[in-house]
């Protein structure tokens, strides 16, 4: 993706900071416990809403508009189309034409079996980096890297904090409980540990490869080391180290790993399932919102959320912790779509897209800047508002609470299972889930067209709800997670796994023919629209969907003991206080 150089520079420091944190790696300190008081029990919120929100049809959600006499009256139920006599042009809970597309990651007959290509004395190990979703891409890409090198993969080291299945899987006893190894047995030989050499533990040679390293890059950089030096190489900081474009066989392998072999550990899967069941007991459908609105995130984004002096001071104080943080121009940031939508804006967008106040919404988030105040307008729009903490007890969450990545994994599952997934950001979790939901049937996945929505939100008090909602619907075309919205090759592979999505063109053709027949030669509207999607003016574009401050943008080839990092450890240790003690937390916060 084309990234402005400027951003590269100021994230660089922060990334180094995270590396230091990795090195320090203290006990976990969590943002998540805050949730329990940020999101009160349903009873409390009910009470809360009685004061702020009348339940009659066509009520105005008072707190969400500044001017009570405004013509901007937000309907409780159906969108504006009521007044124009129109009907929603889409099903709220499914994507158009989704049934004609399916995930296809099986290998072709030409893809050589692991036994045929694995070189007996080539071993590849990796050290993963970062939070849950960075680890996911790291582990996935490591399998492909091993395949490129004809090497045996040493299963990524996952300590007891780990949340992936296979962490302590007894490979020698049975592979049936090790989907990661058994599922991939034809593709790559995977072992638990490096074999001993002369009775001694074998220490691999450690190195790094550049970000987005291509097949040729692995052959040029890693293969010679494997051949000449040690026969065993460990690639450090292994996240996003594999190119987006690879040949089809390797891309499909990537999908087999990501979507099939790699699974969460059983306790996480089970708890995730319970959360989903509880949501489904309350309502047939639910929306999951991945909301990123942490104070640090906002400070880092340099955006203005309309909180005046107070906000400026609070976020400014946080910004000072990053000494080299570039001062952004808030207006410019917003114009470029780099600011995460505020909870209220997400709520308005959803209402405009047709989701009424009866819809149930699960909110996956860390600490929310401004807490209850910030969430109030969203809760007023969607009173059936849940989070982990309102649908599970403290006891149930106990085993997960002190591990931020486990909590993130639970949210991942609930978001993945949701009928509609919506984000206010473009972070790793949003992107990985977007890709995953495409692969598993194109369930609606709403990603705000932030750059264009910005103007609309700014001028919303100047227009009627009908105009507003109609414009939202127009601007969000191409950002709804429908098939073929994103052209092949656009975006990251994990976000747009186009090589692994196949089209049932026969069935598709049949439907088109039928509708043509019915319409006496006129092309059916819906199929025409479908064909047009990729030429739509709102076509999802790397430039439209802004980069989220990730930790994976630039190159950092310094090794862990680099002097810069030592220097930074001082800065971070003194400035960052408590949060710093949790390695995955900080990284996850900034990247997921
Ligand atoms: C992929 O392979 C599996 C198992 O070999 C098989 O059950 C499945 O039908 C195949 N899928 C496709 C789309 O061919
Ligand atoms: C891997 O094995 C295949 C088949 O023997 C061979 O064509 C290819 O060049 C090998 N690649 C490497 C990096 O050794
Ligand atoms: C709203 O309309 C007024 C008068 O038409 C105009 O002066 C103002 O700039 C508009 N505000 C926005 C945000 O578009
Ligand atoms: C580390 O922090 C101490 C105390 O804040 C300060 O005196 C010292 O100069 C710092 N060192 C570096 C390398 O920044």
pLDDT tens digits, 78-104:
554 444 444 566 788 988 888 999 999
Name the residue at shortest CA distance from atom 3 of ligand 1: 106
Distance of CA 187 to the CA centre of its chain: 27
Distance of CA 570 to the CA centre of its chain: 31
- CB-side neighbour CA atoms (13 Å) of 543: 1
Q: Whose CA is nearest to atom 2 of ligand 4?
A: 570
According to the model, what pLDDT value does residue 147 have?
Answer: 97
Using one digit for the tens of pLDDT, what is the confidence trace for 385-407?
999 989 999 988 988 887 778 88
Residue among 71, 72, 459 whose CB has most ligand 3 atoms within 8 A, to mutate: 459
Domain locations in the chain as residue ranges:
31-102+267-561, 114-263
- Helices and strands of the chain, counted as H and E runs: 26, 12
Angle CA 240–132–179, to nearest 5:
90
Q: What is the pLDDT of residue 546?
A: 38
User: What one-character-per-residue DSSP string does 73-133 give?
Assistant: ---SSS-THHHHT---SS-TTS-TTGGGEEE--PPPTTS--HHHH--TT-EEEE---SSHH
- Ligand 1 site, CB within 6 A: 104, 106
Q: Are strands 205-207 and 232-235 parallel, antiparallel or unpaired?
A: parallel
Minimum-distance ligand 1 atom for the alpha carbon of 106: 1
- The residue whose CA is least distant from atom 4 of ligand 2 is 117
- Residues 531 and 96: their CA atoms lie apart, in Å, by 12
**Is any atom of ligand 3 closer than 6 Å to the C-beta of 459?**
yes
Q: What angle do CA 457, 459, 463 make, to 5 degrees?
A: 105
Q: Atom 6 of ligand 4 has which residue's CA nearest to it?
A: 570
Report how far apart, in Å, the C-alpha atoms of 561 and of each of 15, 238, 366, 564, 586 are: 15, 17, 31, 8, 20
Which ligand has its closest atom nearest to the C-alpha of 112? 2
Ligand 2 atom with the shortest distance to the CA of 148? 13
Instruction: Identify which ligand lies nearest to the alpha carbon of 569.
Output: 4
Q: What is the mean pLDDT of residues 108-129?
A: 91
Q: What is the DSSP letter of 199?
A: T
Residue 249 CB less than 6 A away from ligand 2: no
What 3-state DSSP class applies to 169? coil
Q: How do residues 169-193 score in pLDDT, each as one tens digit?
A: 533 333 445 778 888 989 999 988 8
> Quick one: tokens of 550?
């990730």
Does the Cβ of 248 fall within 6 Å of ligand 3?
A: no
Candidate of 564, 570, 572, 576 to mutate for ligand 4, largest count of ligand atoms within 8 Å of Cβ: 570
Q: Which of 150, 219, 231 to mutate to test the pocket of ligand 2 (most atoms within 8 A of CB)?
A: 150
Q: Which residues pair with 191 in a beta bridge?
A: 154
Tokens 């780099």 locate to: 338
Q: What is the pLDDT of residue 319?
A: 75
Which residue, judged by its Cα, is nearest atom 7 of ligand 3? 462
Q: What does the pLDDT look like over 369-388, one tens digit per residue?
A: 888 989 999 999 999 999 99
pLDDT tens, residue by residue, 507-552 = 777 777 776 666 554 444 443 333 333 333 344 444 443 344 333 3
CA–CA gap between residue 441 and residue 444 (Å, rounded)? 9
Atom index in ligand 1 nearest the CA of residue 102 equals 13
pTM higher than 0.85, yes or no? Answer: no
Closest ligand by atom to 108 CA: 1
By CB atoms closer than 10 A (0-12, 13-18, 19+), residue 425 is buried
**Residue having the nearest C-alpha atom to atom 13 of ligand 1:** 104
Average pLDDT for residues 32-43, to the nearest whole number?
Answer: 34
Which residues are registered as beta bridge partners of 124? 153, 233
C-alpha 151 – ligand 2 centre gap (Å):
10
Q: Does 132 sit in the ligand 2 pocket, CB within 6 Å?
A: no
Q: How far is the CA of 165 from the centre of ligand 1 (A)?
A: 23
pLDDT tens track for 449-500: 988 888 888 888 888 888 898 899 999 988 999 898 888 888 889 999 999 9
What is the pLDDT at residue 567? 31
Our answer on whether the CB atom of 170 is closer than 6 Å to any ligand 3 atom is no
Q: Which residues contact 169 (CB under 8 A, 6 or more apart)?
A: 177, 178, 180, 181, 192
């Amino acid at each position: 993706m084309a990234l402005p150089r400027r951003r590269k520079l100021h994230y660089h420091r922060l990334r180094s900071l995270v590396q230091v944190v990795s090195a320090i790696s203290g006990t976990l300190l969590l943002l998540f416990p805050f949730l329990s008081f940020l999101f009160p029990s349903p009873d409390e919120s009910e009470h809360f809403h009685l004061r702020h929100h009348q339940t009659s049809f066509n009520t105005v959600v008072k707190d969400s508009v500044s001017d009570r006499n405004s013509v901007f009256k937000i309907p409780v139920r159906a969108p504006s189309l009521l007044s124009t006599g129109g009907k929603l042009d889409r099903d709220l809970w499914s994507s158009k034409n989704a049934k004609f597309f399916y995930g296809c990651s099986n290998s072709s007959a030409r893809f050589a079996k692991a036994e045929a290509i694995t070189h007996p004395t080539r071993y590849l190990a990796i050290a993963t980096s970062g939070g849950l979703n960075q680890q996911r891409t790291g582990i996935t890409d490591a399998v492909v890297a091993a395949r490129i090198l004809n090497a045996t993969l040493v299963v990524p080291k996952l300590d007891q904090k780990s949340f992936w299945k296979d962490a302590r899987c007894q490979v020698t006893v049975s592979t049936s409980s090790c989907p990661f190894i058994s599922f991939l047995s034809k593709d790559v030989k995977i072992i638990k540990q490096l074999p001993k050499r002369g009775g001694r533990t074998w220490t691999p040679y450690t190195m790094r490869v550049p970000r987005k390293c291509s097949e040729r890059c692995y052959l040029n950089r890693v293969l010679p080391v494997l051949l000449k030096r040690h026969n065993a190489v460990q690639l450090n900081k292994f996240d996003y180290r594999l190119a987006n474009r690879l040949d089809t066989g390797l891309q499909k392998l990537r999908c087999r790993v990501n979507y099939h072999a790699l699974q969460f550990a059983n306790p996480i899967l089970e708890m995730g399932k319970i959360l989903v069941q509880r949501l489904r007991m309350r309502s047939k459908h639910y929306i999951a919102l991945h909301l990123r609105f942490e104070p640090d995130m906002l400070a880092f984004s340099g955006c203005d959320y309309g909180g005046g002096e107070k906000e400026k001071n609070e976020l400014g104080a946080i910004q000072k912790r990053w000494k080299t943080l570039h001062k952004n121009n808030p207006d410019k940031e917003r114009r470029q779509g780099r600011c995460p939508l505020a909870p209220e804006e997400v709520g308005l967008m959803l209402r405009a897209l047709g989701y009424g106040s009866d819809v149930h919404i699960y909110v996956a988030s860390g600490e929310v800047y401004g807490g209850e105040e910030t969430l109030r307008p969203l809760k007023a729009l969607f009173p059936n508002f849940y989070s982990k903490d309102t649908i599970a007890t403290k006891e149930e969450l106990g085993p997960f609470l002190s591990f931020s990545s486990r909590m993130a994994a639970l949210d991942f599952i609930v978001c993945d299972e949701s009928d509609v997934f919506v984000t206010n950001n473009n972070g790793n979790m949003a992107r990985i889930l977007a890709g995953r939901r495409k692969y598993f049937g194109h369930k609606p996945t709403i990603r705000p067209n932030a750059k264009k929505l910005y103007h609309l939100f700014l001028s919303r008090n100047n227009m009627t709800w009908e105009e507003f909602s109609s414009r939202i619907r127009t601007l969000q075309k191409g950002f709804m997670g429908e098939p073929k919205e994103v052209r092949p090759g656009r975006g990251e592979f994990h976000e747009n796994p186009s090589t692994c999505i196949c089209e049932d063109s026969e069935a598709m053709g049949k439907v088109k023919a039928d509708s043509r027949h019915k319409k006496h030669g006129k092309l059916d509207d819906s199929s025409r629209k479908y064909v047009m999607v990729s030429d739509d003016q709102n076509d999802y574009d790397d430039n439209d969907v802004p980069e989220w401050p990730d930790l994976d943008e630039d190159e950092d080839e310094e090794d862990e003991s680099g002097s810069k990092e030592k220097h930074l450890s001082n800065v971070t240790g003194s400035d960052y206080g408590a949060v710093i003690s949790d390695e995955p937390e900080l990284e996850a916060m900034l990247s997921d």
